[in-house]
């Protein structure tokens, strides 16, 4: 630090006396400067030790492509996806179904198309076939009927087409012509939910148990979906809207 001082001489005093006075003033100022320097150093140290509050970042959870549909991971670790409505049924079959996948559906109108994804092109285990069938049945209109099971069939993707025989009216959105042999199964209606890596996963009980210890099983009932969702959230956590979207329709939590 450089100190600039304006000097004025007292002409009534000798040069030596003036010099002595200024020497005394300089010593006093030097002591003050030392004190000021210490105060500045202490203040700087305090500022360095102060942790400024961090701004809260809006963490945006990345959604996987399959989360726009109904989905679960089977006991054999196959991804299974299902349509939510006519539009997503169309999208699933047209955009996301490949040659070695398996497609499930029911004869009842309003049923979702359910697809077992098979990117490794291997034989799909029977347990996964059963779970996909149960998933398809549970999200069909059979859930509201009060029945414990429903008939489901599965086919290869190549058996589905939008093309119709000559003279027949075009198909509605979400509908497909199915040609060839259909493989029928009687599937139980059952759905459970868990919080898997901060994603709400809903599917057959056997699959959900494989992937989580904290689960909630639901059965058909007459409670409001929003009320059931709040109860489920208290047990497994997660986003309330995701839970609501994962439920088939009116239901209740199964007591064990």
CA distance 14 to 70: 101
Of the chain, the percentage scoring pLDDT greater than 90 comes to 64
In a shared domain, residues 124 and 194: no
In a shared domain, residues 79 and 154: yes
Would residue 47 count as lying in a domain? no
In a shared domain, residues 200 and 176: no
Number of Cα atoms under 13 Å in the Cβ half of residue 154: 23
State the total domains in the chain. Answer: 2
Q: What is the mean pLDDT of residues 38-54?
A: 66
pLDDT at 10: 62
Q: What is the mean pLDDT of residues 218-232?
A: 95
In a shared domain, residues 200 and 105: no
In a shared domain, residues 196 and 149: no
H or E element, residue 228 = helix 225-236
Query: Cα separations (Å) of 191 from 11, 42, 175?
Result: 105, 65, 25
Give residue 217's domain range. Answer: 190-256
Residues ≥6 apart with Cβ < 8 Å to 79: 66, 71, 73, 116, 117
Length of the chain, please? Answer: 256
In a shared domain, residues 77 and 168: yes
pLDDT at 165: 79
Q: What is the mean pLDDT of residues 12-19?
A: 67
Q: Is 27 helix (H, G, I), strand (E, B) or coil?
A: helix
pTM of the model: 0.75
Q: What is the mean pLDDT of residues 235-243?
A: 97
Q: What is the mean pLDDT of residues 219-247?
A: 96
Instruction: Round the average pLDDT of the chain to a whole number and report it.
Output: 87
Q: Is 165 helix (H, G, I), strand (E, B) or coil?
A: coil
CA distance 54 to 42: 24
Lowest mean pLDDT: which of 5-9, 63-67, 105-109, 164-168?
Answer: 5-9
Q: In the predicted model, is pLDDT for residue 184 greater than 90?
A: yes
pLDDT at 162: 87
Would residue 194 count as lying in a domain? yes
Q: What is the mean pLDDT of residues 38-45?
A: 71
In a shared domain, residues 203 and 178: no
Strand order in the sheet with 199-203: 199-203, 191-196, 215-223, 251-253
Would residue 217 count as lying in a domain? yes
Q: Is 111 helix (H, G, I), strand (E, B) or coil?
A: coil
pLDDT at 132: 98
DSSP state of 141: T
Higher pLDDT: 29 or 255? It is 255
pLDDT at 237: 97
Query: Which among 158, 188, 218 is the end of a domain?
Result: 188
CA distance 23 to 21: 5
Q: In the predicted model, is pLDDT for residue 90 greater than 90?
A: yes
Would residue 48 count as lying in a domain? no
Q: In the predicted model, is pLDDT for residue 193 greater than 60?
A: yes
Q: In the predicted model, is pLDDT for residue 59 greater than 60?
A: no
Query: Which among 188, 223, 243 is the end of a domain?
Result: 188
Convert the pLDDT of each residue in 134-157 to its tens digit. Answer: 999 999 999 988 789 999 999 999
In a shared domain, residues 149 and 162: yes
Query: Cα separations (Å) of 82 from 36, 141, 158, 194, 251?
Result: 74, 14, 18, 17, 19
Query: Which among 188, 218, 248 is the end of a domain?
Result: 188
pLDDT band at 173 (very low <50, low <70, confident <90, very high): confident
Q: In the predicted model, is pLDDT for residue 3 greater than 60?
A: no
pLDDT at 8: 65
In a shared domain, residues 197 and 99: no
CA distance 17 to 12: 10
Q: In the predicted model, is pLDDT for residue 218 greater than 70?
A: yes
């Amino acid at each position: 630090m450089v100190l600039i001082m304006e000097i004025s001489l007292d002409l009534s005093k000798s040069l030596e006396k003036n010099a002595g006075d200024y020497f005394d003033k300089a010593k006093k100022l030097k002591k003050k400067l030392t004190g000021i320097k210490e105060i500045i150093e202490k203040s700087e140290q305090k500022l360095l030790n102060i942790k400024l509050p961090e701004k809260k970042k809006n963490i945006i959870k990345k959604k996987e492509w399959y989360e726009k549909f109904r989905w679960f991971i089977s006991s054999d670790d196959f991804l299974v996806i299902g349509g939510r409505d006519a539009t997503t049924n169309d999208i699933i079959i047209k955009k996301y179904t490949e040659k070695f996948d398996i497609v499930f559906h029911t004869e009842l109108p309003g049923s979702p198309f359910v697809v077992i994804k098979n990117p490794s092109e291997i034989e799909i285990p029977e347990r996964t076939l059963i779970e996909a069938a149960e998933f398809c049945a549970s999200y069909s209109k059979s859930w509201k009927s009060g029945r414990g099971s429903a008939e489901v069939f599965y086919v290869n993707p190549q058996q589905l087409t939008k093309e119709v025989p000559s003279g027949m009216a075009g198909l509605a959105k979400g509908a497909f012509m199915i040609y060839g042999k259909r493989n029928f199964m009687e599937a139980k209606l059952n759905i459970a939910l868990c919080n898997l890596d901060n994603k709400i996963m809903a599917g057959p009980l056997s699959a959900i148990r494989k992937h989580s210890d904290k689960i909630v099983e639901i059965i058909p009932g007459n409670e409001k979906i929003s009320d059931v969702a709040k109860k489920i959230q208290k047990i497994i956590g997660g986003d309330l809207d995701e839970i609501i979207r994962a439920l088939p329709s009116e239901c209740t939590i199964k007591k064990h």
